Amino acid sequence: MRRFLTVDRRVGLAVAAVGLVSLLLAGCGTRVVIQPDQGDGGAVVADTGAPETAAPGAVGAPCKGDGDCTSKFCLSNGRCSKGCEVAGSCPKSWACVVVPGRGPMCDCDIRSTSEVACNAVDDDCNGLVDEGSPTCGGVCVDTNTDPKNCGGCAKACPGAGAPNAEPQCAGGACKLKCAAGFGDCDSNPANGCEADLASREHCGSCAYACKTGETCSAGMCTTVVPVDVTVLLGVTGSTQPMLNAALPALKDNLVTPLLALPGVAVGVSYTCEFPNSPYGSTGDRPFQGGVEPTTDASKLFASIDGYPKMGGGDASDGMIEALGTLSGRPVHPASQPLTCSAGRAAGGCWRAATRRVIVLFTDDTFHNGPLLLGPGLYAPYAGITPAPQDWPAVLGAMKANGMVLLVMNATTMGGDAYGQYKRMITELGQPATDIYPSATAAEATSAADAIVARVKALRGG
C-alpha cells in the first residue's frame, strides 16, 4: 500500500515533513523519495516499496568528499569506504585494496547505477547486494534471462531436453537456441531443433530447399555431377606385396568415403598381362572384370580382398589394354570383360551421364604405353594376335569419354614408371598431382584420402 504526505512549501514544513516521514518509514526498510509537484502547490512523498540503501556516511553511501563519510574516506567513484584487513571485512563483492597514503581500504567498481541482475554482486556499490531484485520461491532470479522463470515466476521456457536445442530467455521472452547445423523449422519447441540444415529440404536455413538435381553443400544448393569410379588393381606378382599392404586403405579410406558421397558409385576390376611368353604366363589376363560400379560396399570389399593372383613375366605390364577396355575399345580375347546391367555403357559398365574415373593401382611401366620423351611406344608388344591396344588409341578414347585417370603409384616417384605415368596424365590434360605415392600402407592411406577429395571436386557440390 502506498502512503502519501502533502507538504506545504509556503509554511516551511517541507524539510520537517520529509525528515519525519524518512525517519518513520526507514525503520520499516522502506525507500523514501520526493515526487515532483503534482499541481496542488505541494510535493508527494511516496513509498517505493524498495529496500533502503546504505545509511548516510556508511560504507556504500554517496559522498562528494571525505567529510561525508563516517570513515572519513570517500572513494573516487563517489561511495564511502572504510579500512579493512581482508576482503571479508568489506561488503559482499567489495575488495580490500591498499590505497597509497591510506592503507588497506574497501573498494568497489560501479557496474551499474542500479541493481540489474541477480548475480550476488553489488552492481551499484551502495553496500547492498541484489536489493530490489525479484525472487521466486525465496530465491533471487532475473525473470528477463532465467529460462525457468521467464517473464515471471514458474514460467518455464519449453524445449528442455528436446533434440539439438537449448531453451533460453531474453527480455522476458522464450526462444530456442539451436545447435550448430540445426534449425527449429516447424516452430514447435517440443521437438527441439528438428531440421538438419545440411539437408536438401532445409539447405543453410529453414526457408531454403534445393531444386531437383541439386545437393546441399556448406549451406548452399549446388548441382552435382554423378561419378562412377572404377578401381583397377594391378595384380602382377611384383605388385601384390604393396597391394596387400594397401587393402585396408582401399576399403576404409577410399571405397567407404566415396560411397558416402551422393551420386557416386564404385566398381572394381583387375589387370596383369597377356598370357603370351615372355610377357606373361598361363592364367594371366590383361583385363579381368570384377564388379560394375555399384553402391554395395560388401560386394566391393569382397572383390578387393579376393583379387585374383596373377603372375606376369617381363618388367612391363599390360595396363594399356585394361585402360582401353574400360574406355570402350574392343575387348581382346585374352581379357575377361565385365558383365554389365541393362543401360550401362560397355567396357566399364558405366552408368549413363556419369563422370568416369579410373583409379589405377600399379608399380611398373606399361607395354604399348608412351615413351618418356618423344614419339613411339614403350616396350611394344610383338607376336600377339589380334594386336593389343596402344596408348594413342586409348588416349583418344579416354579423352572422347571425358575420363579421368588417377594413379596410385606403388613404386618409386622418379623412375621410368613414374615418368611414363606423368606423360600419360599430362596428355590427358590433368595435373601431375594426380599421381599418388602408394608404396606403403601409410602412403596408400594418404593417397586414398586425397583421391576422395579429388573425386568430390569432380562431382561438384
> Tell me, what's the pLDDT at 87?
74
Higher pLDDT, residue 46 or 367: 367
- Give how far Cα 117 sits from Cα of 47, 108, 123, 153, Å: 23, 17, 8, 15
pTM of the full predicted structure? Answer: 0.57
At residue 117 the predicted structure's pLDDT band, cuts being 50, 70 and 90, is low
Q: What confidence tens digit (pLDDT) does each residue in 332-384 have? A: 999 999 999 999 998 999 999 899 999 999 999 999 999 999 999 999 999 99
Quickly count: other Cβ atoms within 10 Å of residue 25's Cβ. 16
Given a cut of 60, is residue 49 above it in pLDDT? no
Alpha-carbon distance 44 to 304, whole Å?
93
What's the whole-number mean pLDDT along residues 128-141?
A: 79
> Tell me, what's the pLDDT at 8?
35
69 Cβ partners below 8 Å, 6+ apart? 57, 61, 63, 80, 81
Alpha-carbon distance 350 to 346, whole Å?
7
Note whether 351 and 265 are within 8 A (CB). yes
CA 409, distance to chain mean position in Å, is 32
The secondary structure of 103-123 as a DSSP string is: EEEEE-----SS--S-SSS-T
* Helices 441-459, 240-248: crossing angle, 10 deg rounding: 70
Given a cut of 50, is residue 52 above it in pLDDT? no
Q: What confidence tens digit (pLDDT) does each residue in 282-340 have? A: 999 999 999 999 999 999 999 999 999 999 989 899 999 999 999 999 999 999 999 99
- Please name the helix (run of DSSP H) or strand (run of DSSP E) that holds residue 435, with its range, or none: strand 435-437
Given a cut of 50, is residue 255 above it in pLDDT? yes
The secondary structure of 360-422 as a DSSP string is: EEE-S-BTTEE-SSSSSEES---S-SSPPP-HHHHHHHHHHTT-EEEEEE-S-TTSHHHHHHH
Note whether 316 and 341 are within 8 A (CB). no
> Tell me, what's the pLDDT at 101?
83
Arithmetic mean of pLDDT over the chain: 86
Q: Which residue has the cell 572422347?
A: 400
Alpha-carbon distance 32 to 53, whole Å?
10
Q: Which residue has the cell 585394361?
A: 322
Given a cut of 60, is residue 62 above it in pLDDT? yes
Question: Which three three-digit cell numbers place residue 39?
Answer: 499541481
82 Cβ partners below 8 Å, 6+ apart? 59, 70, 71, 73, 90, 105, 106
At residue 115 the predicted structure's pLDDT band, cuts being 50, 70 and 90, is low
Task: Determine if residue 305 is left, alpha or beta; phi over 0 gives left, psi from -120 to 50 gives alpha, anything else beta.
Answer: alpha
CA 381, distance to chain mean position in Å, is 53
Note whether 159 and 190 are within 8 A (CB). yes
Phi, psi for residue 433 in degrees, rounded to 5: -70, -5
Alpha-carbon distance 438 to 298, whole Å?
24
The domain limits of the chain are 6-47, 142-222, 224-459
Q: Which CATH superfamily is domain 224-459 in?
A: von Willebrand factor, type A domain (3.40.50.410)
- Residue 445 is classified by DSSP as H
Q: Which of 109, 24, 444, 405 is nearest to 246 (CA)?
A: 444
- Which of the residue ranges 106-110, 193-197, 211-215, 435-439 would you say has the lowest mean pLDDT? 211-215
Note whether 80 and 74 are within 8 A (CB). yes
- Which of the residue ranges 37-41, 154-158, 246-250, 450-454 would you say has the lowest mean pLDDT? 37-41
Q: What percent of the chain has pLDDT over 70?
A: 87
370 Cβ partners below 8 Å, 6+ apart? 377, 378, 391, 420, 423, 424, 427
Alpha-carbon distance 250 to 234, whole Å?
13
- Residue 180 is classified by DSSP as T
Q: Which residue has the cell 621410368?
A: 416
At residue 116 the predicted structure's pLDDT band, cuts being 50, 70 and 90, is low
Q: Which of 227, 401, 424 is nearest to 328 (CA)?
A: 401
Q: What confidence tens digit (pLDDT) does each residue in 431-459 have? A: 999 999 999 999 999 999 999 999 999 98
